[in-house]
Amino acid sequence: MRLCRTSALLLALLFTFSCKRPGSLASGEIMYVSAPNANLRDHVSTVYNRVGTLKNGERVEVLEHQKRFVRIRNAAKTEGWVELRALVPAETFTQFEQLARDNAATPIQGHALTRVELNMHVAPGRETDTLYQLAENSKVELLKRATTGRATPEEIAAKKTAAIAKAAGEQAKLSPKKKTTKPAKTEPPAAPAPAAPVAQPTPAPAQTEDAKPKPMDDWWLVRDQQGRAGWVLARMVDLDIPLDVVQYAEGQRIQAAFVLNTVQDGDKAVPQYLVLMNENKDGIPFDFNQVRVFTWNLKRHRYETAYREHFIIGYFPARVSTEDFGKEGAMPVFTIRKQNADGSLGERKYRVIGNIVRPVLSPGEQPQHAAHSPGETKKQGQSRAKGSPQRKHKH
């Protein structure tokens, strides 16, 4: 009797392990909806009845799966079949939760609007995992910038296919390698009779595919109005600042914008801005190379450039606050991080006195020479090194 019970137990264990493939879904597993919305079917077929709709970010429980479809139950206790590609594992949800917690206190570098519907990625890169989606014209807070090499469409598709195959318990199919034909070996020709040497031009080295610069992408870590954090393509968000300020970008890319304070012009309060800019291209290793302060001219009723600093190597985060300077009163101040000539990274504080900007030095602190960004010409660098004063620019 004891032998029969042991045999039955072994058979049950063997059956259990043979039915569950490594890496496949298990009954009771929790997943999340990554599609904007997904239909819940009554059965797996070309013709089906819709029994419900799943929303982006919704939590579901897996009941069973058949290749590329899974039967799930949502919080409303509705059951049905949905495509596996519309779901992501709970691990991805946990990573997004951790990303939001880690950046809860990260200084905001600006407010922006999305140009189109966007996926939020768990890390910078087009091939990284996604979960939440932002609708067009969604308001987001900009937190951090990053730059990565651009993944090809083939690389992105291969990773998604492999992830779906792994979840379904299938072996990911690798694309076949192209066959290369080796040239047939031939006997070297007989050496010709010696002749007078003739100078031959040196051929230019062939341009190989690896030598070409790889396209780059800029990314922003953003936080949406629900407090969710994720990485989005930087070119797909626009800073939410007045066009009267944007028009003075002069072909540069506005990377960050901060309201310093407001001034009263008649019956309206007009914000004054700190703006950080960089060259208008992706892949630059530093965050900004230009600082500009825009103040409001109460007589002409327009923005003017009160301060401009070119050709620096700046990094986020920048900060804006108000500080009390005793008899002079409270004034807006801003702090930026930029690289010094010796390669170290230092903070610089400035205060805004009306429409004048002045550096703030601690007692005994000596001003340090900043490193020059690659866009600065030698002549400009020499002029700036002599300590030429910054002039006020009007537009």
Range of lowest pLDDT (142-156, 222-236, 373-387): 373-387
Average pLDDT over residues 362-375: 83
Residue pLDDT, tens place only, 207-219: 555 567 789 999 9
Between 122 and 177, the higher pLDDT residue: 122
Domains 24-88 and 103-149+215-240 are alike in CATH topology: yes
**Closest listed residue to residue 104, CA positions, set 228, 218, 225:** 228
- The CATH architecture one would assign to domain 103-149+215-240 is Roll (2.30)
Query: 305: Cβ–Cβ under 8 A, 6 or more apart, which residues?
Result: 248, 292, 293, 294, 392, 393, 394, 395
Structural domain spans, the chain: 24-88, 103-149+215-240, 241-385
Average pLDDT over residues 54-82: 94
- Tell whether the model's pLDDT for residue 223 goes beyond 50: yes
By the 8 A CB rule, do 34 and 22 touch?
no
Number of residues in the chain: 395
pLDDT of residue 16: 44
Q: Is the omega angle on the peptide bond into residue 22 within 30 degrees of 0, that is, cis? A: no
Reported as type and span, the H/E element at residue 166 is: helix 153-167
Q: State CA 378 to chain mean position distance.
A: 33
Residue pLDDT, tens place only, 7-35: 554 444 444 434 444 345 667 899 999 99
Contacts of 201-209 with C-beta under 8 Å, sequence gap 24+, read: none
Where residue 331 falls among pLDDT bands split at 50, 70, 90?
A: very high
In CATH, which superfamily holds the domain spanning 24-88? SH3 Domains (2.30.30.40)
User: What is the pTM assigned to this prediction?
Assistant: 0.77
- Tell whether the model's pLDDT for residue 253 goes beyond 80: yes
3-state secondary structure 204-218: CCCCCCCCCCCCEEE
- DSSP string across 254-295: EEEEEEEEEEEETTEEEEEEEEEEE-SSS--SSSBSEEEEEE
Structure tokens at 177: 């390698």
pLDDT of residue 169: 61
Q: How far, in Å, CA of 63 to CA of 40, rounded? A: 13
Q: How far, in Å, CA of 34 to CA of 37, rounded? A: 8
Average pLDDT over residues 306-319: 96
Q: How far, in Å, CA of 31 to CA of 82, rounded? A: 12
Query: What letters, b where the CB count within 10 A reaches 16 and e where it falls short, cover 107-124?
Result: bebbbbebeeebbbbbeb
**Cβ-based neighbour number of residue 264 at 10 Å:** 10
